[in-house]
RNA sequence: GCCGGGGUGUGGUAGCGGUUAUCCCUGGGGACUGUGGAUCCCUAGACCUGGGUUCAAAUCCCAGCCCCGGCCCCA
């Protein structure tokens, strides 16, 4: 019986893993240089961690289960909630801001399609302890530094849920719960439902108009325009925060599009929110590669109210876009080839294994594991792109040498074990240096 | 949750009512018994699953599973 992969999961073959490893290393390197440290949290958590404030949308997609003693658990649908939980559990006394990054798999029960899977990877960062414009700008700039390192062309959309919240607060008949509902409707783009809800509760028509005007705002000059029209109060805290952020983004030379319609599906965002979209058209409908913003989760989990800012990349979507120029072709190594019947010629086998062990201190080396003929061993080496074969048979043993064959040129020579090791070590060392310098 | 298009050896495919199920790639062996990449030969290996229609199903119908994509939402 053939067992199929679970729907929405993937196997990664060596070639794909090489590419992902390159991407991951580039992103890690940048995070480290910006002063962020790596953390890791559990793959599953108490389900309440996610149900508490992540929003309705994520609940119906969650993998929930009970363990053998009946605990209510869930596979993480995202990682931010875990990071904050971990911070509160372990590190309340840490100097702020705490700057962390993480890379891990997440799980959501959705219909798989291009760039969307049930198990997917997020690479994210969090600044815990600050949601200042400086923190927001740094974080967005960091995201773009990573995109640049991956040669991904993308555009940034920035919004601020504070502006909408301020306006909703002014709409007196609405309570907190209704605010959340309206936010969700805005995020979904369900304009008609927003109007209906607000009219039902009896919100003034002018306020409804203002709200609709606000969420449609797009583009850089619209902020001033909105203020001139009195839609945004001149002394709005959210407005001045957003303006400060935009100024800093200019300093970081990150281009942006203002989009106040971004409300985001996770309910915990409280301030700046942003989304980044790939612009090359390689992702079809799922072109959002990054999302994030400022939030206040800590209080919900029983801690003090810690302002934080974070984002998460959809790593798989980046992988879809990322073309690797170099390092694409697997660089072959060395094969040690014992010649003769391994079952009979124990001495040859031993000599070959000893040779392989020495070479493995310096170069990728493999040795026949299938008792193949000389011919078949070379064929395998050829198919693997190996560069050298070290052949050891009865003749070599008797003469105290090995035969080193250059699989690219086809030339070969006999030399001592030490000389052969030294020769290969030198060859591969210089190759590694070449690779690092490019 | 909704809507399209698909599942044939390891991978890529042809066949679309009756064939010994095609070709390329791959594994093993050989021509060439201590030398890979070319050529040729032998050999291994497949019709997603379950029902139905039919004398006869890979082929037609239905359901499920899976894949690819779109809507919605997200990363």
Query: Which residue from A244, A238, A34 is spatially nearest to A133, judged by alpha carbons?
Result: A244
User: What mean pLDDT do residues A358-377 have?
Assistant: 88
Q: Which nucleotides of B are covered by protein (CB under 7 A)?
A: 1-3, 26-30, 34-37, 48, 65-75
- Angle among Cα A232, A137, A24 to the nearest 5 degrees reads 135
Residue–nucleotide distance: A352 CA to B12 C1' (Å):
38
| ipTM at complex level | 0.80
A1 pLDDT exceeds 50?
no
Residue–nucleotide distance: A280 CA to B70 C1' (Å):
19
Structure tokens at A218: 């797009």
Q: Are A208 and A195 a contacting pair, CB within 8 Å?
A: yes
- Of the pLDDT bands very low, low, confident and very high (cuts 50, 70, 90), residue A262 is confident
Whole-angstrom distance, CA of residue A117 vs CA of residue A212: 34
**CA distance between the termini of chain A:** 48
Per the structure, the residue whose CA is closest to nucleotide B72 at C1' is: A188
User: What mean pLDDT do residues A119-134 have?
Assistant: 94
**Beta-bridge partner residues of A309:** A127, A294
Residue–nucleotide distance: A20 CA to B39 C1' (Å):
40
- Angle among Cα A139, A274, A57 to the nearest 5 degrees reads 120
Q: Are A396 and A356 a contacting pair, CB within 8 Å?
A: no
pLDDT tens per residue across span A21-68: 989 999 999 999 999 999 999 999 999 888 876 666 667 788 888 999
Give Cα A161 distance to the centre of its chain: 25
Give Cα A159 distance to the centre of its chain: 22
Residue–nucleotide distance: A121 CA to B3 C1' (Å):
28
| Angle, in degrees to the nearest 10, between helices A417-437 and A346-359 | 30
Whole-angstrom distance, CA of residue A212 vs CA of residue A234: 19
Q: Which nucleotide is nearest to A405 (CA to C1')?
A: B35
Domains of chain A: 14-321 (3.30.930.10), 334-437 (3.40.50.800)
Does residue A434 or residue A144 have the better pLDDT? Answer: A144
Q: Which nucleotide is nearest to A185 (CA to C1')?
A: B73
Whole-angstrom distance, CA of residue A223 vs CA of residue A143: 24
A290 pLDDT exceeds 90?
yes
Q: Which nucleotide is nearest to A311 (CA to C1')?
A: B75
Q: Which nucleotide is nearest to A396 (CA to C1')?
A: B34
**Beta-bridge partner residues of A74:** A45, A64
What is the reported pLDDT for A328?
52
DSSP label at A413?
Answer: E
Whole-angstrom distance, CA of residue A258 vs CA of residue A366: 56
Residue–nucleotide distance: A325 CA to B44 C1' (Å):
38
Residue–nucleotide distance: A60 CA to B1 C1' (Å):
11
Max CA pair span of chain A: 100
Structure tokens at A328: 């694409």
Query: A432 Cβ partners below 8 Å, 6+ apart?
Result: none
């Amino acid at each position: 019986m053939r067992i199929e992969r679970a729907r929405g999961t993937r196997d990664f073959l060596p070639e794909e893993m090489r590419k992902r490893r390159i991407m991951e290393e580039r992103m890690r390197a940048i995070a480290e240089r910006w002063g962020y440290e790596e953390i890791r949290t559990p793959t599953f958590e108490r389900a309440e961690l996610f149900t508490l404030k992540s929003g309705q949308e994520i609940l119906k997609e969650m993998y929930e289960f009970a363990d053998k003693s009946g605990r209510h658990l869930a596979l993480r649908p995202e990682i931010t909630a875990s990071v904050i939980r971990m911070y509160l559990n372990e590190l309340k006394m840490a100097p702020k801001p705490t700057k962390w990054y993480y890379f891990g798999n997440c799980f959501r029960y959705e219909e798989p399609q291009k760039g969307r899977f049930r198990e997917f990877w997020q690479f994210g960062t969090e600044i815990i302890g600050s949601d200042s414009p400086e923190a927001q700008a740094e974080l967005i700039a960091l995201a773009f530094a990573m995109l640049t390192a991956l040669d991904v062309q993308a555009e940034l959309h920035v919004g601020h849920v504070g502006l909408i919240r301020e306006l909703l607060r002014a709409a007196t008949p609405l309570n907190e719960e209704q605010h959340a509902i309206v936010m969700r409707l805005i995020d979904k783009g369900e304009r008609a439902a927003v109007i209906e809800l607000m009219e039902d509760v009896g919100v003034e028509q002018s306020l409804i108009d203002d709200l609709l005007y606000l969420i449609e705002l797009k583009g850089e000059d619209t902020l001033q325009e909105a203020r001139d029209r009195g839609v945004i109060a001149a002394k709005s805290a959210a407005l001045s925060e957003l303006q400060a952020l935009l100024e800093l983004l200019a300093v970081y030379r990150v281009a942006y599009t203002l989009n106040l319609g971004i409300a985001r599906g996770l309910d915990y965002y409280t301030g700046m929110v942003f989304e980044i979209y790939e612009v090359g058209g390689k992702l079809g409908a799922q072109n959002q590669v990054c999302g994030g913003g400022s939030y206040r989760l800590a209080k919900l989990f029983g801690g003090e109210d810690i302002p934080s800012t974070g984002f998460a990349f959809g790593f798989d979507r980046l992988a879809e876009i990322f073309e690797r120029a170099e390092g694409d072709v697997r660089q072959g190594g060395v094969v040690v080839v014992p010649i003769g019947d391994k079952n009979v010629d124990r001495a040859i086998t031993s000599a070959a294994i000893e040779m392989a062990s020495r070479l493995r201190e310096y170069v990728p080396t493999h040795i026949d594991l299938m008792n193949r003929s000389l011919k078949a061993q070379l064929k395998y080496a050829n198919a693997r792109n190996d560069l050298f074969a070290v052949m050891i048979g009865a003749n070599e043993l008797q003469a105290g040498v090995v035969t080193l064959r250059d699989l690219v040129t086809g030339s070969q020579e006999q030399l001592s074990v030490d000389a052969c090791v030294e020769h290969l070590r030198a060859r591969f060392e210089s190759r590694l240096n070449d690779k690092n310098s490019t």
